[in-house]
């Protein structure tokens, strides 16, 4: 049976942020990721100002040039909401945190490349195509069962053991579901939507501002905001709606909407992806099982999750170090040292501008 001091489930920004601390402190850590790396994720792939600040603060680096796509910079002034009645107005997607403001030049990256780069920057060992099946507490340790896909690299199928288990596995967290079987992806009282994203070749951008990011609130397209922005020679279309909406039809409606109002002509769809986005009740874990990022309900304005994930993961890692070195209660330590994150989550929820209905 493979044994580590810490096992992190999820190779995204929360997992990388947590692993970075542990590696730097000499703690034995393994990240397991259910997908093959680099893996795609339904996300804008835009690094806001706070994310850039945290990358410099925690990782001491910004992504390499091969991770960026054109336009490399999207200024906050060019993130705009459009309506037939009013035309364009600025759309706010990031606000100051605790009186600190951040860069208004947002970085446009390929999300799959960014996440993999960040995981590598952490210096951690990782095991891809390895999914968490279950876990249980056993004599002061966490014993976990895994399912490993064929052709995966390293590690053992079956069972692993650790002192602390970190769930950094997103909004439909398997770790959180096992920790609390009453919790589900459709968390009671949470705003939640299904999201579908398509990447289309651009034949003619028409009058659309391809140096920015355009947002629409059109109920005939979806119950959440609709986003359009460019990545190299592709236009990313993002739609979302409540359960029951046909998002394939929503994308088709959006394509027609862009052609009618902006004379945009699109070529073939290169790929598509989808996810379920919720704003779950905050939960940092229990005992030796710690949650970070979206799994913990750490998400900022209008669903921005990269900065919250990096920061939450890093704070979780710091708390675990204290637990190992000083025998403090990790959950209490994490709660105290991440109070500002939870406070900013609440502030963002008060100012959310996300749904069309």
- How many domains is the chain built from? 2
Q: From the first residue on, what is the mean pLDDT of each consecutive set of 10 residues in the chain (357 residues)? A: 95 98 98 95 92 98 96 97 95 96 98 97 97 94 91 64 97 93 60 87 95 94 94 96 92 98 97 81 95 96 95 98 97 98 95 83
Q: Beta-carbon neighbour count of residue 252 at 10 Å?
A: 14
Shared-domain flag, residues 173 and 208 = no
Structural domain boundaries, residue 243: 192-278
Residue 89 lies in a domain: no
Q: Which of 245, 278, 311 is the last residue of a domain?
A: 278
In the structure encoding, which two tokens stand for residue 217, read together? 């609130």
- The pLDDT, as a whole number, for residue 191 is 56
Say if CB 129 and CB 149 are below 8 A apart.
Answer: yes
Q: What is the three-state SS of 272-328?
A: EEEEEEECCCCCCEECCEEECHHHHCCCCHHHCCHHHHHHHHHHHHHHHHHHHHHCC
The answer to whether residues 17 and 102 belong to one domain is yes
Q: Quickly list H helices, the chain.
A: 13-24, 49-54, 111-122, 174-179, 247-262, 306-326, 330-337, 339-350
Do 235 and 320 fall within a single domain?
Answer: no
pLDDT tens digits for range 62-88: 999 999 999 999 999 999 999 999 999
User: Which letter does DSSP use for residue 39 in this model?
Assistant: -
Do 116 and 263 fall into the same domain?
Answer: no
Give the model confidence (pLDDT) of 209-251 as tens digits: 988 999 999 999 999 999 999 999 999 999 999 988 999 999 9
**What pLDDT does residue 155 have?**
47
Domain shared by 232 and 342, yes or no: no
**323 Cβ partners below 8 Å, 6+ apart?**
164, 329, 330, 333
Same domain, 224 and 174: no
Q: Does the reported pTM lie above 0.85?
A: yes
Could you give the 3-state DSSP secondary structure of residue 22?
A: helix
73 exposure class (CB count in 10 Å sphere: 0-12, 13-18, 19+)? middle
Residue 85 domain flag: no
Instruction: Give the integer Cα–Cα distance in Å for 302 and 92.
Output: 9
């Amino acid at each position: 049976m493979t044994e580590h001091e810490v096992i992190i489930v999820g190779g995204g920004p929360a997992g990388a942020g947590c692993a970075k601390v542990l590696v730097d402190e000499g703690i034995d850590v393994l990240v397991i990721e259910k997908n093959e790396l680099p893996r795609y994720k339904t996300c804008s792939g835009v690094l806001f100002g706070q994310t850039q600040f945290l990358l410099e603060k925690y990782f001491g680096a910004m992504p390499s040039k091969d991770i960026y796509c054109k336009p490399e910079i999207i200024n906050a002034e060019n993130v705009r909401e459009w309506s037939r009645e009013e035309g364009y107005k600025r759309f706010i997607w990031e606000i100051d945190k605790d009186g600190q403001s951040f860069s208004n030049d947002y970085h446009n990256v390929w999300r799959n490349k960014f996440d993999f780069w960040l995981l590598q920057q952490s210096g951690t060992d990782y095991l891809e195509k390895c999914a968490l099946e279950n876990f249980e507490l056993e004599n002061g340790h966490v014993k976990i069962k895994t399912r490993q896909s064929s052709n995966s690299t390293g590690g053992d199928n079956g069972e692993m053991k650790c002192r602390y288990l970190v769930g950094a596995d997103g909004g439909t967290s398997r770790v959180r579901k096992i920790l609390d079987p009453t919790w589900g992806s459709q968390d009671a009282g949470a705003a939640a939507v299904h999201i579908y994203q398509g990447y289309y070749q651009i034949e003619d951008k028409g009058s659309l501002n391809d140096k920015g990011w355009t947002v629409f609130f059109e109920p005939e397209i979806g119950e959440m905001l609709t986003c359009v922005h460019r990545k190299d020679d592709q236009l990313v279309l993002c739609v979302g709606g409540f359960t029951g909406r046909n998002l394939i039809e929503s994308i088709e409606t959006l394509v027609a909407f862009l052609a009618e109002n902006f004379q945009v002509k699109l070529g073939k769809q290169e790929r598509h992806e989808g996810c379920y986005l919720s704003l779950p009740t905050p939960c940092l874990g229990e005992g030796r099982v710690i949650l970070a990022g979206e799994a913990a309900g750490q998400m900022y304005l209008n669903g921005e999750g990269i900065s919250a994930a990096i920061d939450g993961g890093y704070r979780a890692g710091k708390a675990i170090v204290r637990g190992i070195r000083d025998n403090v209660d990790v959950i209490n330590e994490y709660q105290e040292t991440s109070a500002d994150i939870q406070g900013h989550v609440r502030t963002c929820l008060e100012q959310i501008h996300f749904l069309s209905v």
